[in-house]
Amino acid sequence: MTAVAAAKRLAEIAGKTGSALEIDLTGVAEMDTAGAWLLRRAITERQAGGGEVSVTDRQGAHYADLISALPEKLAEPREEKGPPASRFERIFTPIGRAMVDVWDDAVAAMFILGSAVRGAQLKLGRQSGLSPAAIVHQIDRMGVRAVPIILLMSFLIGAIIAQQGAFQLRYFGAEVFVVDLVGILQLREIGVLLTAIMIAGRSGSAITAEIGSMKMREEIDALKVMGLSPIGVLVFPRLVALTVALPLLTIIANFAALFGAAFVAWSYSGITFDTFLSRLREAIDLSTIVSGMIKAPFMALIIGIVASVEGLKVGGSAESLGRHVTASVVKSIFVVILVDGLFAMFYAAIDF
């Protein structure tokens, strides 16, 4: 008899009124703790109604002793409360936990970076779990397919900067200097920074979602069972693709922004394209272009590593996946802006 059927039958017996109830366990071959609990509950309910209950066990199996040893009801669960936290603990405990999380993320990032560098030393091919086709595929997804949105956003950003700059410089009769403003700002800072932010939101979130969903479906464990490195198969192609795609997208973004600025300068301030290009050649030099392009590979690695770390931290629920995708985008953008600021201070220190 199953526990459900036994519980239903015992409830019917316990609910009856009349003479004393005798429970004979002579024919019981085996009884586990669940059965003993059911009998104990039935006996308690019967006695609460004023009836008498006796238990007989002639086989010497001590089932009656087991039933009598059980309490009449389970203890109510109690929430054990510790001493109240002090104000110092309430302030610094979240800070300490955040620092521990930052340390854990840094260790995981170094592990992924080291594994990726090690993977770069391996021969590309199916035997090592690396495939050039996977890298080319990721470049297509993260680079080629991102060109339209990068073009549109950069064109608008360049146009807005030119319009606002020309509007302010008009009061000083120096509208032509809007070319210097857009050229230096776009090539040195805005171009690579905004491109990296857009890639973090577009490709970084996709990397986290892809790796996280594979973690949820235990596909990463399957790769390990097959003798393949998840870092080499999943992370390394994406890191290489981002490192290649982001500098190229930055170049495209710079051209689009300068074209947008030239269009607005012509339509808003009457600066011709020839004048714009002539002034641009005077305003910028090779160091202006190089100072912005140097940042692109570093930002690409940051986006890829942060996205991979968050993807590998995904648990088994959809809520965990959404939380880590959000964390991936936020952390990537924060670290990218931080690194851009560090580069700016470094350039200022070396007068570059």
User: Over the stretch 114-163, which tens digit does the pLDDT of each residue have?
Assistant: 777 766 555 444 445 457 888 899 999 999 999 999 999 999 999 999 99
Strands 53-56 and 21-24: parallel
Domains identified in the chain, total number: 2
Whether residue 48 is found in the same domain as residue 176 = no
Asked if residue 92 belongs to a domain, the reply is no
Q: Which residues of 283-322 are buried (b: 16+ CB within 10 A; e: fewer)?
A: bbeeebbebbbebbebbbbbbbbbbbbbbbbbeeeeeebe
Whether residue 166 is found in the same domain as residue 25 = no
User: Over the stretch 81-119, which tens digit does the pLDDT of each residue have?
Assistant: 767 777 777 788 888 888 888 888 888 888 887 777 766
Whether residue 199 is found in the same domain as residue 259 = yes
For residue 332, which of 137, 101, 105 has the smallest C-alpha distance? 105
Report the 10 Å Cβ neighbour count for 203: 27
Contact by Cβ (8 Å): 310, 327? yes
Asked if residue 90 belongs to a domain, the reply is no
User: Over the stretch 47-84, which tens digit does the pLDDT of each residue have?
Assistant: 666 666 666 665 655 666 666 666 656 556 666 676 77
Whether residue 165 is found in the same domain as residue 40 = no
Q: Which of 49, 69, 89 is the last residue of a domain?
A: 69
Whether residue 63 is found in the same domain as residue 101 = no
Asked if residue 85 belongs to a domain, the reply is no
pTM of this structure: 0.71
Whether residue 35 is found in the same domain as residue 183 = no
User: Over the stretch 194-235, which tens digit does the pLDDT of each residue have?
Assistant: 999 999 999 999 999 999 999 888 888 888 888 877 887 888
Whether residue 176 is found in the same domain as residue 259 = yes
Q: Round the average pLDDT of the chain to a whole number and report it.
A: 83
Asked if residue 346 belongs to a domain, the reply is yes
Whether residue 127 is found in the same domain as residue 163 = yes
For residues 163 and 261, give the distance between their C-alpha atoms in angstroms, rounded to a whole number: 8
Whether residue 288 is found in the same domain as residue 231 = yes
In this model, does residue 244 exceed pLDDT 50? yes
Asked if residue 101 belongs to a domain, the reply is yes
Whether residue 238 is found in the same domain as residue 328 = yes
Mean pLDDT of 182-194: 92
For residue 234, which of 215, 251, 253 has the smallest C-alpha distance? 215
Domain assignment of residue 61, given as a range: 3-69
DSSP-based three-state secondary structure for 53: strand
- Percent of the chain having pLDDT more than 70? 77
Contact by Cβ (8 Å): 207, 238? yes
Whether residue 60 is found in the same domain as residue 189 = no
Show the CA angle centred on residue 166, arms to residues 161 and 171, nearest 5°: 140
Whether residue 63 is found in the same domain as residue 105 = no
